[in-house]
A and B are shown apart, each in its own frame.
Chain A
Amino acid sequence: GQSLEQPSEVTAVEGAIVQINCTYQTSGFYGLSWYQQHDGGAPTFLSYNALDGLEETGRFSSFLSRSDSYGYLLLQELQMKDSASYFCAVREYNFNKFYFGSGTKLNVKP
């Protein structure tokens, strides 16, 4: 089976840097994705890591360590609009399924 663990809630101030961790256990790992979801909205794709290392996309970066079954999402220069839930999702080896964590609610304060 699959299991993913993320912190349930994180609070940070505007302009700061925050890291959201994700540890996973899966029978067939192929990659790790991150999604953002505002209250009442659709999940929005942020990043994907298939290989170890850091992927950078603007203010957001994502890291993966396959040997540690661990990844994180790094958000820099936090803005109020970054307040949302963030989900990590493991892609199963047969490509067709993503298993999502329970999400981390990020609260950005002025």
Chain B
Amino acid sequence: DAGVTQSPTHLIKTRGQQVTLRCSPISGHKSVSWYQQVLGQGPQFIFQYYEKEERGRGNFPDRFSARQFPNYSSELNVNALLLGDSALYLCASSLEQGAYGYTFGSGTRLTVV
């Protein structure tokens, strides 16, 4: 079975641009969470979606938004990119909203120049 897949794997953007990152959860998993991991730090929670509804939001500005589609895949959008948005963006899926163990994808490495 395929794991959590994310695309693209790497991305370079210019300050002020917008970016869309994509995530396909494990088949049957209904919950998708997004995390930002800056080099040398632990992942920071951005969003959780379950059954196409936002169920949790971390301490990130409104430039960050996300959505979940009927097939449970998800997109993370970041507007007006800043240099500080350069990070590894991780998507994690789980069967249900209250699961305690997530399966992470390998992430999208975003570089803002």
Contact = CB atoms under 8 A, between A and B. Distances in A.
Interface of A: 4, 31, 33, 35, 41-45, 48, 50, 87, 89, 91, 94-103
Among B4, B55, B101, which residue has the most Cβ atoms of chain A within 10 A?
B101
Given A48-B100, A97-B48, A43 B56 contact: no
A87 B33 CA distance: 17
Contacts, number: 55
Interface residues of B, number: 26
By Cβ-Cβ distance, the 5 closest A-B pairs, closest first, are A100-B42, A96-B56, A45-B101, A42-B104, A48-B100
Nearest to A32: B100
A45 B45 CA distance: 16
B22 to A, nearest CB: 16
Q: Is the interface of A mostly helix, strand, loop or mixed?
A: strand
A25 B48 CA distance: 22
B44 interface: yes
Interface of B: 4, 33, 35, 40-45, 48, 50, 55-56, 58, 90, 92, 97-98, 100-107
B90 A33 contact: no
B42 A101 contact: yes
Given A95-B98, A97-B58, A44 B42 contact: no
